[in-house]
Structure 1
């Protein structure tokens, strides 16, 4: 006859870990992947709005500049003006869409009252950062790639330094994804988010050499531009296509890494404190 005995305390502790001990190990890979795919599906379901529309808008920018001033503008450092302009436009649409993806995800969840969907799962602040920011990076890269492919029949852009294209595309998408997370957490209504877009993101983008070479600026404006991190993103990305940079590419690499690290720490801190998320 078999005798069933009760679990010993040691067996119970093995079956039911103490509070705060995560059953899935140090990193919740499945949770991060689930969050990432959820955020990616959120924008791919409406790809006409989130991918096709930005691509068409950027092509319209290119067409307007090509038809209005393209033939009148001299070459920039030996590069035809339209070829010089194209990488800046691609980078501009990448960073705008990376920012829009993360900021809108968090703000819409707060406005609709379902931000708890981010807070309830067993995900650490770092894992939330990775999942949400990675989706923003994916949208930026998808839109940027689609725009670049659409430009090829109209602009003879080549590849001078592939590593620079890849590094600055990833770095820019991550930077604006993290900034979007911070803006989305800080904003309590759409007016707040629009203020960040209109008074921070757009001026930094438009005054960073997207449409011109900063070497043409007066001395004081030239110096100020070099304090704009987006300048280094556009300049480094353009260097990857044309082989020419208005600033130091290595300083651009260091600035991109430093700014991303700082933004990561800020967004991680906001998630840990639950700032404007738990109240």
Structure 2
């Protein structure tokens, strides 16, 4: 039953740009993201919660394992979230079994140390952008392997892939790779619901109100796709061809366990109201 487990005291998030929080704030004002939002929800039930976020944008699953697993274990979390693999399935040479091996190794190590571990499945990217249709089978293969590995290690899975709302364009930033602030809010709510946190429910699965403007059709839709390809897909492919990553020069934004400011807490430099 929700609320019967003791509150978590140490939460550590592992992953890539989604867990780092891209799409929810920016590098100037700071990133929030779904993991920060989940930590805030956890802190509502345990004000002594400490939270670390080791995620770094651009990281492949193998890099998350190599760079983040050991530091995560050293922090001895009682709750860990592990979300990775999207950067892998975007690469030309994608091997679902290899990605799943890295994910499962992290599941095994974290749960063996006593942590409750949560992860999630990914939406079909073709429902977000038609140009990504060739990736649909990759997403399906990765999701199935995540479920299998999670069952073997008692990992909680937030099944975000099942619900139509997760591909609503309003839940995604203009690059269609990272969630928007509302998307991050819903991911946090999905994980909280999967963990059966107090006051969590399935409202994150509900559709958004009808859009004020009609969806583009015909040549307008084609023009939107062209603009997206020019603004985001082209530069992304260019970085890959040059062997570059968006994560170059970036490190974890929150590598140490620190107290969590809830939304009602004063921000740094602010006076309590």
Q: Which TM class, normalised by the smaller chain length?
A: 0.3 to 0.5
**TM-score (norm: length of structure 1):** 0.34
**Higher share in strand:** 2
Specify which structure has the higher proportion of helix: 1
**Normalised TM-score (structure 2):** 0.34
